[in-house]
């Protein structure tokens, strides 16, 4: 069976301004004089991996290792500088809370907007709407503009939309660490339900215990390179040893 995600020799290069300026005015002056200095920074370098359908893949690594960048490349948010990403399923990315929301619109309107962005028909979203509302626990706030929501309320709505429409591929970046204890448990239960039903999940978390609990396959990134790719226990044990030496 072909993998549901294949990443082949991917580079992600950013052109970074290395000139220090103290104000926007100074930046424009330096730019006009042609004195801005840029350097190329590789967030990912020659990354290759495969994810099988129904797998739960954990991604570990220190801050700046390329974890979130990899998820954005797989989601299609970033176009890789080199290499190729091929996916064979509909992706629901949960990377930056509310990134698909229009903050001037109500929560209800954003359910349909976000669902449409993810590729779902209005009739399907209408059938799922009550379930999304109940899971989010927003009550009458669903009719208020998103700009009036707390970050926790935005998270609850984003999680509810992304997980209750049953995506083929769910990409999650630290989402389970946000919100109160009650909703964290509820979110974890929902994730477990999705995993048992065959949804493919890519999960980034700073909690190694969470990665050990949820994933069967793990990838360790360091400075944009794949250090190790294999069974979760083997990779997490090696990562723990590295971090504690």
Residue 223 has pLDDT above 90, yes or no: yes
C-alpha to C-alpha distance for 155 and 150, rounded to whole angstroms: 9
Sign of CA dihedral 184, 189, 147, 92: positive
d(CA 56, CA 58): 7
Among candidate residues 151, 167, 183, the one where a domain is terminated: 167
Q: What is the pLDDT of residue 238?
A: 96
Tell whether 110 and 66 lie within a shared domain.
no
What pLDDT is recorded for position 17? 59
Looking at residue 28, its pLDDT comes to 67
Answer whether residue 237 is part of any domain: yes
Measured in whole angstroms, the distance separating CA 22 from the mean position of its chain's CA atoms is 33
Among all chains, which residue has been given the structure tokens 């396959």? 217
Residue 178 lies in a domain: no
Task: State yes or no: pLDDT of 132 exceeds 90.
Answer: yes
Q: Is residue 175 part of a domain?
A: no
Q: What is the biggest distance separating any 2 CA atoms in the chain, rounded to whole angstroms?
A: 59
Same-domain check for residues 149 and 120: yes
Within this chain, do residues 85 and 159 fall inside the same structural domain, yes or no? Answer: no
CB 35 within 8 A of CB 102: no
pLDDT tens, residue by residue, 14-62:
976 566 777 777 766 666 777 666 678 899 999 999 999 999 999 999 9
Q: What are 190-210's pLDDT values in tens digits?
A: 888 888 888 999 999 888 998
CATH for 46: 3.40.50.300
The H-or-E segment that residue 132 falls in is: helix 122-136
d(CA 24, CA 186): 45
Closest alpha carbon to 109 in 76, 75, 89, 138? 138
* 15 phi/psi in degrees, rounded to 5: -95, 105
Phi, psi for residue 192 in degrees, rounded to 5: -65, -40
* Structural domain that includes position 128: 98-167
58-77 confidence digits (pLDDT tens): 999 999 999 999 999 998 88
In terms of DSSP bridges, do strands 91-94 and 169-173 run parallel, antiparallel, or are they unpaired?
parallel
């Amino acid at each position: 069976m072909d993998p549901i995600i294949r990443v082949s020799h991917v580079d992600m290069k950013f052109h970074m301004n290395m000139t220090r300026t103290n104000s926007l005015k100074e930046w424009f002056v330096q730019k006009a004089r042609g004195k801005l200095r840029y350097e190329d920074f590789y967030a990912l370098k020659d990354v290759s991996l495969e994810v099988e359908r129904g797998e739960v893949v954990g991604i570990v690594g220190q801050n700046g290792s390329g974890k979130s960048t990899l998820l954005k490349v797989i989601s299609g948010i970033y176009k890789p500088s080199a290499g190729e990403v091929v996916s064979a399923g509909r992706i629901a990315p949960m990377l930056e809370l509310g990134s698909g929301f229009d903050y001037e619109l109500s929560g209800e309107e954003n359910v349909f907007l976000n669902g449409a962005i993810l590729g779902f028909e209005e009739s399907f979203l209408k059938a799922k709407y009550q379930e999304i509302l109940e899971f989010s626990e927003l009550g009458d706030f669903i009719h208020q503009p998103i700009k009036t929501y707390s970050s926790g309320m935005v998270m609850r709505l984003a999680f509810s939309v992304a997980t209750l429409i049953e995506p083929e591929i769910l990409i999650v970046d630290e989402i389970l660490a946000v919100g109160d204890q009650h909703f964290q448990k509820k979110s974890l239960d929902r994730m477990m339900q999705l995993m048992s039903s065959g949804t493919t999940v890519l999960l980034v978390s700073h909690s190694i215990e969470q990665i050990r609990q949820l994933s069967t396959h793990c990838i360790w990134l360091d400075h944009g390179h794949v250090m190790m790719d294999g069974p979760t226990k083997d990779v997490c044990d090696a990562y723990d040893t590295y971090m504690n030496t």
